[in-house]
Amino acid sequence: MSTAEKTFSKGLEGVIAAQTEMSFINGTEGILEYVGIAIGDLASKSSFEETVFLLWNKRLPTKPELEQFTADLRSHYTLCDEMVTQIKSCPIKAEPMHVIRSMISMCAMYDENPNENSVEAARHKSMRILAVAPAIVAAFDRHRRGLEIVKADPSLNFASNFLYMLNGEKPTDAMVRAFDICMITHADHGLNNSTFAARVVISTLSDLYSAMTAAIGSLRGPLHGGANEGVMKMLNKIDSVETAEAHVMGMIKNKERIMGFGHRVYKAKDPRASELMTLAKQLAEDTGNMDLYNKSHAIEKIMEREYASKGIYPNVDFYSATTYHCIGLKLDLFTPMFVLARIAGWAGHVIEQLEDNRLFRPTTDYIGPHNAPYTPIEKR
Amino acid sequence: MSTAEKTFSKGLEGVIAAQTEMSFINGTEGILEYVGIAIGDLASKSSFEETVFLLWNKRLPTKPELEQFTADLRSHYTLCDEMVTQIKSCPIKAEPMHVIRSMISMCAMYDENPNENSVEAARHKSMRILAVAPAIVAAFDRHRRGLEIVKADPSLNFASNFLYMLNGEKPTDAMVRAFDICMITHADHGLNNSTFAARVVISTLSDLYSAMTAAIGSLRGPLHGGANEGVMKMLNKIDSVETAEAHVMGMIKNKERIMGFGHRVYKAKDPRASELMTLAKQLAEDTGNMDLYNKSHAIEKIMEREYASKGIYPNVDFYSATTYHCIGLKLDLFTPMFVLARIAGWAGHVIEQLEDNRLFRPTTDYIGPHNAPYTPIEKR
């Protein structure tokens, strides 16, 4: 019996399950790096496309490399006609996360060789899935709103193209930049649950679509990506900055969970939250949503006063909610935005797993009976 | 830093990741029990329906309980019209596993409350998914063969109804019993990869459909459920019993993997294989496939002679291949049969996870750089 076997760590907390060269998290000090580069530097200086290249190649691209990478991505922006038909066949009342999970799963049926798992094939499929996912989200949202589906525009960057397909008009520069930063800050984050699910699934040498589908299913959970919707729901229940104090203190008294605070990993400030706070404020100003920003900021101050000594700070979901609202996204599209960004991380981890695979097959602590008889039914 | 954190066990081998009261495996002695009852007893004396009740309730049912359980299951056999349309929209060249994963995912869209996660709701949804999965498999197979879809017959048991929907005629008693035993022996097996994937996904408090979809994606991998197709492919390459020896010894010499032998968990005989061997022989006799059975048996003898001292024995996939072939299933429906059975285990584990949940969130061993600068692109 190995050392690990003796220890049952619920939720595998503290258990190392994989090696990675992508993101490094120091929760105590509030540090997040992608391939060694501080998330703050990437958020302020890089683009989502460049960040994806960094995560997949473990280094920043040269100018020609970035141009090639971007051109490849853009060449896969457009949905095939069959996928458009499939999206239009989804019931309009369906939750977008169920639609996206199902549609990414279905993409396997329109791939000539869905099960290729060479590292090269995995990179190519990852690129295609990343490129087409925004089109799926936008197409379903327009379909359910009774609007014509807007075709992708390969002259636009990832962020701009998505907002264009969603709204049918070119977004402002501030919106594009804000969205781009959201994508960068959400692109990877160690062995979070969905990334772990993707690695677990690909370790059977299944396929990219299976791994991505599993990850999307995980992300929609309220203990994971679903949390950013919870923040907005909470903010909507608070009438104004003036009543925030009473509302939040009431929630604390009733032991209700204050959404968007605390994180299993971070005991200091979530370094992604700082970037988003600055961004959220600017966007709120630009879009006439300062009331929402002020409510968020008031809640942060109350929580800091009450819990900072316990290491409870706003997490990445807290200010991404305000940001997405200001961009004009409906509540149930918040978690799908997390999908668009995290596909980068899922794909990178799947590739790392394929490069040095070992089937995930942990063991259980069996706590049931032994040697039980099969009693015939008439004697039970 | 906990004890577990210091140990990196690749693939989480030997790491306890959950508690369970469902199945117990002793790989060294070749024991498999469901809730304490030996798999051999269940295979010879129980039914799949009763086994599912056992796994979900941790005890055998009384007669009225089993009648109620069976009636509930049968009441959900029939696909809704919308799902029939969705299945017919799948390209006929698609691999059935990609179809099943996508269709189970889509079922969420036709559930009024797909995200309910109370234990009661999870049981109800599990029952529905288990009941409808055979209809999805059969409907897609008939669709791709250009045949009319056959509606479920709620007067039939699980095994019989599936074979009826697939072939459009009532199966023989031997086929039904053989299929039922395959379902029983594949229903649960500790924290195999797909079951683990289901537990990982539901731990975000996502939903039953997300968890099942993840598990199906995992199962299709050749290192997991996909292996039973590999056995059949290998058997097809061997012309006759007479050439089996030369063929297998050639494979061993070339270090090719002999499909259907060895299992991460079992170092003794896989206890499920014994049950299936008896069954496979009888079915082969009934269906005029003794040549196939004899080839399998010859391979087993060669492997026993070469590797028994190393603990390499036929696993459950080895004789299930012969069984499924004799029942008349096409090769790419072998892994889907594993899905039908294992839904029972996945559901039981998901319910156990929901009863005492803790988010799975392991950690990584980060092996990349630190404090790397963001070099401007023109200086790279």
Inter-chain residue contact A46 with B374, CB threshold 8 Å: yes
| Partner-chain contact B101 A210, CB within 8 Å | yes
Q: Give the mean pLDDT of B79-105.
A: 98
Average pLDDT, chain B: 93
Residue A180 lies in a domain: no
Q: How confident is the model at residue A6 (pLDDT cuts 50, 70, 90)?
A: low
Distance from CA of A114 to the nearest CA of B (A): 9
Both B243 and B145 in one domain: the answer is no
Q: What is the DSSP string of A332-366?
A: GGHHHHHHHHHHHHHHHHHHHHHHT------EEEE
Same domain, A217 and A307: no
The predicted model gives A88-96 an average pLDDT of 98
Residue B14 lies in a domain: no
This complex has an ipTM of: 0.94
Helix (H, G, I), strand (E, B) or coil at B157: coil
**Options A263, A297, A325, A349, the catalytic residue:** A263
Residues 6+ apart with CB under 8 A from A350: A122, A126, A198, A199, A202, A208, A211, A212
Torsion sign (Cα): A43, A281, A226, A261: positive
Q: How near does any CA of chain A get to the CA of B81, in Å?
A: 13
Q: Which alpha helices (H) appear in B29-80, and where do they start and end?
A: 39-45, 48-57, 63-75
DSSP state for residue A309 in the 8-state scheme: G
What percentage of chain A carries pLDDT values higher than 70? 98
Could you tell me the two tokens for B32?
């498999």
pLDDT in tens, A297-321: 999 999 999 988 888 888 888 888 8
Residues A344 and A244 in one domain: no
Q: Do B361 and A193 touch (CB under 8 A)?
A: yes
Phi, psi of B23 (to 5 degrees): -115, 145
Q: Are residues B103 and B214 in the same domain?
A: yes
Q: Does A14 sit within 8 Å of B5, measured CB to CB? A: yes
CB A201 within 8 A of CB A347: no
Q: In the prediction, which pLDDT does A76 show?
A: 98
> Which chain B residue has its CA at the smallest distance from A357's CA?
B11
φ and ψ at residue B376, rounded to 5 degrees: -60, 145
Q: Examine the domain organization and report whether A73 and A156 are in the same domain.
A: yes
Q: Please list, in sequence order, all residues whose beta carbon lies within 8 angstroms of the beta carbon of residue A304, skipping any fewer than 6 positions away.
A: A313
pTM, two decimals, is 0.94
Do residues B97 and B240 share a domain? no
Q: Is the pLDDT of residue B166 over 70?
A: yes
Domain containing residue B241: CATH number: 1.10.230.10
Closest CA to A49 of A196, A168, A154: A154
Q: In terms of C-beta distances under 8 Å and separation of at least 24 residues, what long-range contacts does B233-236 make, across chains too?
A: B233/B259, B233/B331, B234/B258, B234/B259, B234/B260, B235/B292, B235/B295, B235/B296, B235/B299, B235/B321, B235/B322
| Closest among A49, A58, A63, A48 to B379, alpha carbons compared | A63
At residue B6, the pLDDT reads: 53
Residue bearing the bigger pLDDT, A34 or B27: A34
Q: Can you tell me the distance from the alpha carbon of B347 to that of B350, in angstroms, rounded to the nearest whole number?
A: 5
Residue B359: its chain A contacts at CB < 8 A? 11, 193, 223-224, 264
Tell me the mean pLDDT in the region B264-270: 79
Same domain? B112 vs B129: yes
Are A364 and B352 in contact, with CB atoms under 8 Å apart? Answer: no
Which chain A residues are within 8 Å of B223, Cβ to Cβ? 203-205, 359
- Do residues B343 and B304 both lie within one domain? no
Q: What pLDDT is stored for residue B140 in this prediction?
A: 98
* Cα separation of the two ends of chain B: 38
What is the reported pLDDT for B3? 43
- CA B17 to CA B240: how far, in whole Å? 45
CB pairs under 8 A between A and B: 409
Take residue A253 and report the two structure tokens written for it: 């008294």
Instruction: Pick the catalytic residue from A186, A207, A317, A325.
Output: A317
Give the three-state DSSP class for A32: strand
pLDDT on residue B257: 87
Chain A contact set for B11 (CB, 8 A): 203, 358-361
pLDDT bucket at A4, cuts 50 / 70 / 90: very low
> Cβ distance B376 to A60 under 8 Å?
no
Tell whether A147 is covered by a domain.
yes
Q: Which residues of B touch A375 (CB under 8 A)?
A: 60
Q: Which domain holds residue A133?
A: 23-170+186-222+336-355
Q: Contact A204/B223, CB-based, under 8 Å?
A: yes
Quote the number of domains for chain B: 2
B313 and B341 in a common domain: no
The answer on B101 and B214 residing in a single domain is yes
Q: What is the pLDDT of residue A131?
A: 98
A300 with A251, same domain?
Answer: yes
Which of the two residues, A69 and A227, has the higher pLDDT score?
A69
Q: How many residues are there in chain B? A: 380
Has residue A370 been placed in a domain?
no
Q: Which residue of A has its CA nearest to B36?
A: A370
**Residue A374 and residue B46: Cβ atoms within 8 Å?**
yes
Q: Is residue A115 part of a domain?
A: yes
Same domain for A252 and A199: no
Q: What is the CATH number of the domain that holds A78?
A: 1.10.580.10
CA distances to A80, B77, B153, B177, B182 from B171, rounded to whole Å, are 41, 17, 13, 10, 15
Active-site residue A263, yes or no? yes
